[in-house]
Amino acid sequence: MTVHGERENIPSVERAEAPKALKRFTDTYNKAYRELDPSLASQVETGPLEAITAADLKAQHANKPGGNPKFPALELTGARYRIPKQVGWPKFFVADTNSNRDNNRWLFVFTRAGADEPWKAAYLSILSQDEVPDLAIDKDGWAQPVAVQGPARRLATRPDRLSAEYADYLMTGKGDTFADGQSTSGIRATRKKFLRTPKFWTEYIDTAAQGARYAPVGLRTQDGGALVFFTSHHRQKQTMAKGFRPNPDPQIKALMTGEAKKAVTLTRISESAVRVPAKDAADPKVVFLNRLEGVTAAKGE
């Protein structure tokens, strides 16, 4: 009997297939960093994670054209697979793993848009052991996906509005969606220090992520809230005062178009994991658990 994933409410991936997807990712990721080849990473990554990795590999390759054969291999162990039951495509699951890089848990969101496509990692979030939320699991051990579009479905904030609301908050400081912290009020405080200095002034533009490639995903937590992963875009233009010239580091120079005579514009992408409370929670504010950001392009003027 054929089960149609586009019509039936079925697990997003078979339990035996999830470890294979993780192993394929790890093997290819390590090869990509040994050879410093973005095209290899694109075989196992998509979305914001691919954008960050591809730029990093491009920059490293420019400075090490022979590759990096001594790259210390990433090892992921002790994986817990959070597999939701879903109707239709795309589908996703989360691999919650240990890493040989630190003592944290590395959470990878794997996604694919059809049965004939390979699983690719779209998000990575690094959380301490006690930061990983307790996810809601049904009697058969399946996780519960959150609808990321439309009404909030018992959540304090709609997942599909997180990116736009976050970009607006960073730009204006207005809104009560997010709790204070390093990724919210902390970023705004840091930016304020660099708006104007004796050597340069800085302009910032934050925008929401658009399109299926950067779509948010979420899993219900035991307290009725959700763990949501989402993407946002950020640009920063630093213009030097008279008598000064930009001096970007080699990683930025490798990504740069134009010549940095007076100003440098950096394009960044961030991937975030947040805890969205239930609509009736005592504190309805969204809390950042982790935020990873990378430069994807640079322009000199």
Q: State residue 149's pLDDT score.
A: 76
Using the predicted structure, report yes or no on whether residue 152 has a pLDDT greater than 70.
no
Using the predicted structure, report yes or no on whether residue 5 has a pLDDT greater than 60.
no
| Residue 90 belongs to some domain of the structure | yes
pLDDT digits (tens, 9 = 90+) for 186-220: 999 999 999 999 999 999 999 999 999 999 999 99
| Residue 118 belongs to some domain of the structure | yes
| Residue 5 belongs to some domain of the structure | no
Q: State residue 290's pLDDT score.
A: 98
Q: State residue 148's pLDDT score.
A: 81
Q: State residue 147's pLDDT score.
A: 85
| Residue 243 belongs to some domain of the structure | yes
| Residue 245 belongs to some domain of the structure | yes
User: For the residues 223-241, what does the mean pLDDT come to?
Assistant: 97
> Structural domain of residue 56, as residue ranges?
10-300
| Residue 4 belongs to some domain of the structure | no
Cα–Cα dist 48/169, whole Å: 20
* 2-16, 57-71, 95-109, 112-126: least confidently modelled range: 2-16
| Residue 1 belongs to some domain of the structure | no
| Banded pLDDT at 6 (limits 50, 70, 90) | low
| Residue 3 belongs to some domain of the structure | no
Q: State residue 7's pLDDT score.
A: 63
Q: State residue 136's pLDDT score.
A: 97
Using the predicted structure, report yes or no on whether residue 44 has a pLDDT greater than 80.
yes
Q: State residue 8's pLDDT score.
A: 81
Mean pLDDT of the chain: 95
pLDDT digits (tens, 9 = 90+) for 86-145: 999 999 999 999 999 999 999 999 999 999 999 999 999 999 999 999 999 999 999 999
Report how many domains make up the chain: 1
Q: State residue 1's pLDDT score.
A: 36
Using the predicted structure, report yes or no on whether residue 28 has a pLDDT greater than 60.
yes
Using the predicted structure, report yes or no on whether residue 281 has a pLDDT greater than 50.
yes
